[in-house]
Amino acid sequence: MGEMLTTKQVAQFLSVNEKMVYSLIAEKGLPASKVTGKWLFPIDLVRQWVETGTENYPEMAKLPPYHGLVLIAGSNDLLLDKIIATFNLKHQDHMAMFGLAGSMGGLKALRQNLCHIAASHLVADNREYNFPFIQDAPVPAVVNFCLREQGILVQKGNPEKIHSIKDLKQPHIKIVNRMLGTGTRQLFDKELKKAEIKGETIDGYDNCLSKHLDIGLAILSGQAHAGPGIKPVAKILGLDFIPLCWERFDLLIGKDRFFDQGIQLFLSLLKGKVIQAAAKEYGGYDLSLTGKMVYPEPAVNLTDLLPKQ
């Protein structure tokens, strides 16, 4: 475990007063744990929380002209792993490389010109995906990769009788979690808030793993009773699955690189037989939007909501 800060120390770190710290815990999800009645703050998670909320990044040098390397960064997904492997087998003069950074990390890398494609499934309070999180940068081209089912992974047969988020607050339940900055962690925290559960009260909430498959393996091995994840992992590992929602998983591409040869070759696989067969085998995927361009929801004109005279 990394260094833990007191309330006074984290207030100094964030340059706010101590009363504001309590508001940040309740309203903004500042990572904290209560031990013997006192709040403690893991410095590593606090740094991640600050970075996740960062909106303005310095201008970075552009990626070099395309020379056969497709750089993808962002959210973890089994079907995406399959398509990257297929691309590398099919196109010997090109290579796709993936940087596991979570949805927020992928968007950050795209802003900083560190990758060609960001993989993200962040959802705003208005249920719009991804676009609200890139408002401070030129809007990229957005192509849907898939729709996928998110939920709670539990042990086979569900011996702990976990049927909803609320059941996770039982004192004997132990979970594993995803990292801050991932779309799955964002969704999980929102569901906990809706259920009026404080994450730090759940055993294992701070035990964060990098991949969906890692969550599933921890549950399969008995290290935890449950954890947030996608349905394909449950099917592959023979776990039970408590559904929460279907979500949109997109590929965001800088418009100045959209027509690079490697990018177009990669996108062409979204309409191929491999992705169709893999999605059917894994389960938990819907390809009805796959390969289609996605656009921001039009802003609502408030006058249109007023009663007609």
Query: Mind listing the pLDDT tens digit for each residue in 211-226?
Result: 999 999 999 999 999 9
CA dist 26 to 45, 156, 213, 272, Å?
Answer: 16, 34, 30, 46
Give the pLDDT of residue 29. 72
Q: Which residues pair with 119 in a beta bridge?
A: 74, 251
Q: Which residues pair with 246 in a beta bridge?
A: 149
CATH 1.10.10 domain locations along the chain? 4-52
CATH 3.40.190.290 domain locations along the chain? 66-295
119 vs 142: CA distance, rounded Å: 10
235 vs 237: CA distance, rounded Å: 6
The whole-number average pLDDT for the span 4-8 is 89
The CATH number that domain 66-295 falls under is 3.40.190.290
Give the pLDDT of residue 38. 85
Q: What is the pLDDT of residues 136-192, one digit of tens each?
A: 667 899 999 999 999 999 999 999 999 999 999 999 999 999 998 899 999 999 999
The count of C-alpha atoms lying within 13 angstroms of the C-alpha of 53, restricted to the half-sphere facing its C-beta, is 11
Q: What is the pLDDT of residues 91-116, one digit of tens each?
A: 999 999 999 999 999 999 998 899 99
The CATH number that domain 4-52 falls under is 1.10.10
116 vs 71: CA distance, rounded Å: 5
122 vs 102: CA distance, rounded Å: 10
User: Residue 301: pLDDT above 80?
Assistant: no
Give the pLDDT of residue 304. 47
CB 147 within 8 A of CB 286: yes
